[in-house]
Amino acid sequence: MFIKCGDISKAEELFNAIENKNLFTFSTMMNGFILNKQEQRAIDLFFQIKKPSKAILRIFFNACAQLQTENALTVGKNVFDQLAIDSNESKDVLNMALNIFIKCGDLKSAECLFNRIDRTIICYGSMMKLYNIKDQPEKTLELFQRMKQETLIPDEICYVLLIDALSKIGDLSLGQSFLCGMPKHFLSNSWIQVALIDIWGKVGSPDKSKEIFDMIEHPDRVAFGAMINAYGLNGMGLEAIESFNRIPSNMLDNVIYICALNACSHSALIGQAWEIFEKIPLNQRTEQIYTTMVDTISRVSLFDQALELIDEYEQSHNPSIPTVTYICVAI
């Protein structure tokens, strides 16, 4: 009860009062620490257990994975190396260990363990995500092919990760060859829709981005932002502004404003950029917005106006080193 109510001190007090603690009480306390964002204490408690069960090991590995620190990775690896684990009997423990390596970014250890275990769609998705994070999109594509060779059917998450990898590579023909086999019903998935809008924009096919966008009955701010960015990357600033003007006022946020201003910047639409900037309430003009606007007008050598913007920003904020540095370099 104390754990569920967030009173970890009371729970710990009760735990310490128990003379003969069993594995159940240890596991309950460890889970309590994890639920209350005290993963290190769960790890410390683990080492008080003489013979941890598989259930305790799962909790321990979960704590290490949640903590995502170098020390947690080292401790998790040390415990894992000491275990005599049979891959057929302890799949869940192996998967939890893999989860530590992936979340802590230990690519080498993750690869070694991944090749040992009975791989599932979830395992493949986790490894694909790690390759994308490590900026190795080609490895993500290889894993996707390998998964299909093992007769596993990729789910929506795997396709989102695949699209992310293709987007990083930026090859139109490669993207088409990989995505032609994607199940049609996946196109109704909002994550996939936004990912496709993004990739087609990055490989120079904004028309394809628009096709996907038009399939969305009620676009949210993420979809609008992706579409504006796709237009902006391809020098279609007017189309980007048209999309921006369709966005309901309650959806406008920092990201949308920056996407619209960047689109104006790429197409040298200075007047339109000023119109957008002036519509942004003063209390919503963040450093990123000012920096983007300074970049936009500096590209056409309007340095006096850029300096005025910096002065305006610094009247109500601390001096911004990135912004000042940028304009000094530009001048």
Distance CA 129, CA 52 (A): 31
197 and 219 housed in the same domain: yes
Per-residue pLDDT, 240: 97
Distance CA 108, CA 220 (A): 38
Q: Is residue 305 in a domain?
A: no
Query: Does residue 89 or residue 281 have the better pLDDT?
Result: 281
Answer yes or no: is pLDDT of 89 > 70: no
132 and 22 housed in the same domain: no
| Residue ranges making up the domain that contains 133 | 122-181
Query: Does residue 154 or residue 1 have the better pLDDT?
Result: 154
Beta strands in the chain (DSSP E): none
Answer yes or no: is pLDDT of 329 > 80: no
Region 141-158: mean pLDDT is 94
> Final residue of a domain: which of 71, 91, 118?
118
Helix axes 23-35, 54-67, angle to 10 degrees: 20
Cα angle vertex 265, ends 231, 285, to 5°?
105
- Residues 228/263, Cβ–Cβ less than 8 Å: yes
Q: Is residue 258 in a domain?
A: no
174 and 187 housed in the same domain: no
Q: Is residue 35 in a domain?
A: yes
What mean pLDDT, rounded, does the chain reach? 88
> Half-sphere exposure of residue 255, counting CA atoms within 13 Å on the CB side?
11
Per-residue pLDDT, 321: 47
28 and 41 housed in the same domain: yes
Q: Is residue 287 in a domain?
A: no
Per-residue pLDDT, 323: 52
**Reported confidence tier of residue 6, pLDDT bands at 50, 70, 90:** low
- Of the candidates 36, 108, 96, the residue with the CA atom closest to the CA atom of residue 72: 96
> Final residue of a domain: which of 131, 157, 181?
181
Collapsing DSSP to helix, strand or coil, 294 comes out as: helix
209 and 150 housed in the same domain: no
DSSP secondary structure string, 98-116? HHHHHHTT-HHHHHHHHTT
Per-residue pLDDT, 163: 95
233 and 154 housed in the same domain: no
Per-residue pLDDT, 221: 95
Per-residue pLDDT, 311: 84
CATH number assigned to the domain comprising residue 26: 1.25.40
Region 155-170: mean pLDDT is 94
- Residues 77/110, Cβ–Cβ less than 8 Å: no
How does pLDDT run across 301-317, given as a tens digit for each residue? 888 888 888 888 887 77
> Final residue of a domain: which of 67, 94, 118?
118
146 and 191 housed in the same domain: no
20 and 60 housed in the same domain: yes
Per-residue pLDDT, 215: 95
71 and 164 housed in the same domain: no
Distance CA 128, CA 135 (A): 11
pTM: 0.79
Q: Is residue 295 in a domain?
A: no
> Half-sphere exposure of residue 66, counting CA atoms within 13 Å on the CB side?
19
* CA-based torsion, 190, 194, 195, 199: positive or negative: positive
